[in-house]
Amino acid sequence: MGKKPSKGDRDSEWSEELSGIEDRLRLRHDLGGTEAITRQHESGRLTIRERVELMIDSGTFHEQGPLAGYSENDEMGNLKSFSPANYVLGVAKVDNRPCVVGGEDFTQKGGSPSSAGLRKSIYAESLALRLKIPLVRFLEGGGGSVTGSAGKQGAQGNPVFATPRFRSIAEIMGVAPVVSAAVGAVAGFPAARLVASHFSVMTRNTSQVMIGGPALVERALGKSLTKEELGGAAVHARSGVVDNLVDDENEAADQMRRFLSFMPTNVFQLPPIINSADPPERKTQALRDLVPRDRRKPFKVRAILESVLDQGSFFEMTKTFGRSQVTGLGRLDGQPVGVWANDCHFHAGAMTANGAQKVRRFVDLCDTFHLPVISFVDEPGFMIGPEAESAATIRHGASAIFAVQQSQVPWITVLIRKAYGVAAVAHFGPEGVVLAWPSAESGALPLEGGIAVAYRREIAESSNPAAKRKELEEEWAARRSTFGRAEGFAVHDMIDPANTRFELCRWLKWTSPLLEDLRGPSKYGIRP
């Protein structure tokens, strides 16, 4: 297989070795062979090298360990075959910023690591840590195999002095942004890597995420399930394992690039500010009538976010998990911010156990990468009832509150409508600014529930309980004027909803200098 050296090459004493380098560099692109690549494409999936090229700026990939793999030579020492390591890794530019990019090669061993592949895989986080740059993972593989990466005669287990594999995986989460895409079947160790990300996506029709695959499940539990039934998109739309679902690998790369665009290169820098053509003083008159006077009628909270943020900048995350809470990233006058709001179309906006976990993780993300947080509040309180109690809602809710109270980034809270109960506490960051719309209301309990409890006997003894309850609700609603809070300096200001963008941009201009003091690792960090 080794090619004959050219006349120029024959002048070198190392011509055979130089030829060997060229051969291996060429053969690495063959991956698992033509048939395996064809099967990959026929199943609607790209190869790992195609994924890398899809993600990065063209021509910027500098591969690490390009000759890693396994070779065979004939009796004369000539190269017969070369199997590259089944993990591709390198440094490249993504939107003109250096990143570490890597992933499993499923065309070899179904992505289960070879010896060299495992070493390259483990090196990915270490490299990103050393360079302090973002890490991009394309995940497709089943982790380890029963035979191990070293073969039949390999040593059992890692040496006692080895650094735990998860050490660098955990450490990079506190240093630089990590994004991951599940682009095929992902199980075991790669699945753990997927969730150890600041942002993750999975393709709807070509990927599954599982702790253990169908064969393991059937052997252990006696249940026969497909990969899709175990860990397909329909499962993880509800589980919260991934942040977003995408239609294909092109969209996966687009979303990972977009997420990174809001992030600093590492925690020692601040998020990038871009020029915005959207004027800070822009008013949205439609916001004045967005919240109905009838408190029982819902409204579209995303319309508020789209109107207030720089046009087209809102990037929602984890939309299908904890749906009563809306979390995402956006920009105000070109500066990245974290955005959190209640969606009253789901449980009236109440914070569920899933919603609380979603909020906690989101707040930790913003604190880690120095993103100011804007909270738009329509919170009726923690979800109640037997299902809520079984889900440990109060524990997860308290965790979310602690994350908010321990955060160090600037906060501003906009009271849109309801702010009730213990859950409302989560919406007010330390030393944060509080603005109120005329539609705002707050208290220990939502009005309807509070009336039902406080006037239970009076309502029951009335000749018309329903009419009496309504009478009391209207009476107390009239007493809860937003002006009272403004006059008592219980809020910083009561504002015209149309001016919300201007007020937020002004606040951000005042508080942005405070971010300089936050450079470096956050006090509490982030966990999956």
**Could you give the CA distance from residue 337 to residue 267 in angstroms, rounded to a whole number?**
15
Take residue 27 and report the two structure tokens written for it: 């053969």
SS3 state of residue 18: helix
The strand pairing partners of 243, in sequence order, are none
C-beta neighbour count of 270 within 10 angstroms: 18
Q: How confident is the model at residue 116, as a pLDDT?
A: 83
Residue 223 sits in the same domain as residue 235? yes
Residue type, 392: A
**524 occurs within a structural domain:** no
**Could you give the CA distance from residue 194 to residue 136 in angstroms, rounded to a whole number?**
11
**Could you give the CA distance from residue 508 to residue 330 in angstroms, rounded to a whole number?**
13
The last residue of a domain, from among 262, 297, 330 = 262
- Among 99, 98, 118, which Cα is nearest to 108's? 118
- What number is the average pLDDT over the span 371-397? 96
- What number is the average pLDDT over the span 190-214? 95
356 within 8 A of 322, measured Cβ to Cβ: yes
C-beta neighbour count of 157 within 10 angstroms: 8
Residue 79 sits in the same domain as residue 48? yes
Decide which of 194 and 4 is more confident.
194
**Where residue 83 falls among pLDDT bands split at 50, 70, 90?**
confident
pTM of the model: 0.90
**155 occurs within a structural domain:** yes
Report the greatest alpha carbon distance in the chain: 110
- Beta strand 433-436 pairing with 493-494: parallel
**Could you give the CA distance from residue 133 to residue 441 in angstroms, rounded to a whole number?**
44
Over the range 361-393, which residues count as b (16 or more CB within 10 Å of their CB) and which as e? bbbbbbbbbbbbbbbbbbbbbbbeeeebeebeb
Q: How confident is the model at residue 447, as a pLDDT?
A: 58
**Could you give the CA distance from residue 138 to residue 127 in angstroms, rounded to a whole number?**
16
Domain span including residue 69: 16-262
pLDDT digits (tens, 9 = 90+) for 236-254: 999 999 999 999 999 999 9
Q: How confident is the model at residue 451, as a pLDDT?
A: 55
Decide which of 324 and 14 is more confident.
324
**7 occurs within a structural domain:** no
pLDDT value at 111 more than 90: no
Match 């009496």 to its residue by tokens. 468
- Among 122, 178, 136, which Cα is nearest to 52's? 136
The strand pairing partners of 499, in sequence order, are none
- Among 304, 331, 325, 326, which Cα is nearest to 316's? 326
C-beta neighbour count of 181 within 10 angstroms: 31
Question: Rounded to an integer, what is the distance from CA 477 to the centroid of its chain?
Answer: 39
**525 occurs within a structural domain:** no
**Could you give the CA distance from residue 473 to residue 168 in angstroms, rounded to a whole number?**
56
**Where residue 464 falls among pLDDT bands split at 50, 70, 90?**
confident
Residue 117 sits in the same domain as residue 172? yes
Q: How confident is the model at residue 382, as a pLDDT?
A: 93
411 within 8 A of 337, measured Cβ to Cβ: no
Q: How confident is the model at residue 408, as a pLDDT?
A: 96
CATH code of residue 402:
3.90.226.10
**Could you give the CA distance from residue 70 to residue 115 in angstroms, rounded to a whole number?**
9
**523 occurs within a structural domain:** no
Residue 65 sits in the same domain as residue 172? yes
Using alpha carbons, list the distances in angstroms from residue 225 to 213, 216, 218, 371.
Answer: 9, 10, 8, 42
Residue 161 sits in the same domain as residue 243? yes
Take residue 56 and report the two structure tokens written for it: 């990065």
**496 occurs within a structural domain:** yes
Give percent of the chain above pLDDT 90: 69
Residue 366 sits in the same domain as residue 239? no
Residue 148 sits in the same domain as residue 164? yes
pLDDT value at 80 more than 70: yes
**Could you give the CA distance from residue 446 to residue 351 in angstroms, rounded to a whole number?**
14
**Could you give the CA distance from residue 202 to residue 405 in angstroms, rounded to a whole number?**
32
Residue 474 sits in the same domain as residue 498? no
**Could you give the CA distance from residue 432 to residue 411 in angstroms, rounded to a whole number?**
5
**Could you give the CA distance from residue 424 to residue 339 in angstroms, rounded to a whole number?**
16
The total number of structural domains that make up the chain: 3
Decide which of 16 and 137 is more confident.
137
Q: Burial of 249 by CB count in 10 Å (0-12 exposed, 13-18 middle, 19+ buried)?
A: buried
**148 occurs within a structural domain:** yes
SS3 state of residue 399: helix
Residue 202 sits in the same domain as residue 309? no
C-beta neighbour count of 444 within 10 angstroms: 11
Residue 258 sits in the same domain as residue 346? no
**Where residue 465 falls among pLDDT bands split at 50, 70, 90?**
confident
∠ CA 409-410-412 to the nearest 5 degrees? Answer: 135
**Where residue 527 falls among pLDDT bands split at 50, 70, 90?**
confident
The last residue of a domain, from among 262, 277, 311 = 262
Q: How confident is the model at residue 174, as a pLDDT?
A: 96
- What number is the average pLDDT over the span 465-485? 72
Residue 215 sits in the same domain as residue 326? no
- Among 259, 262, 281, which Cα is nearest to 509's? 281
CA atoms within 13 A on the CB side of 266: 16
Mean pLDDT for the chain overall: 89
Residue 300 sits in the same domain as residue 242? no
**Where residue 410 falls among pLDDT bands split at 50, 70, 90?**
very high
3 within 8 A of 21, measured Cβ to Cβ: no
Phi, psi of 480 (to 5 degrees): -90, 60
**Could you give the CA distance from residue 215 to residue 222 in angstroms, rounded to a whole number?**
10
- Among 326, 329, 415, 336, which Cα is nearest to 376's? 415
- What number is the average pLDDT over the span 153-179? 83
**35 occurs within a structural domain:** yes
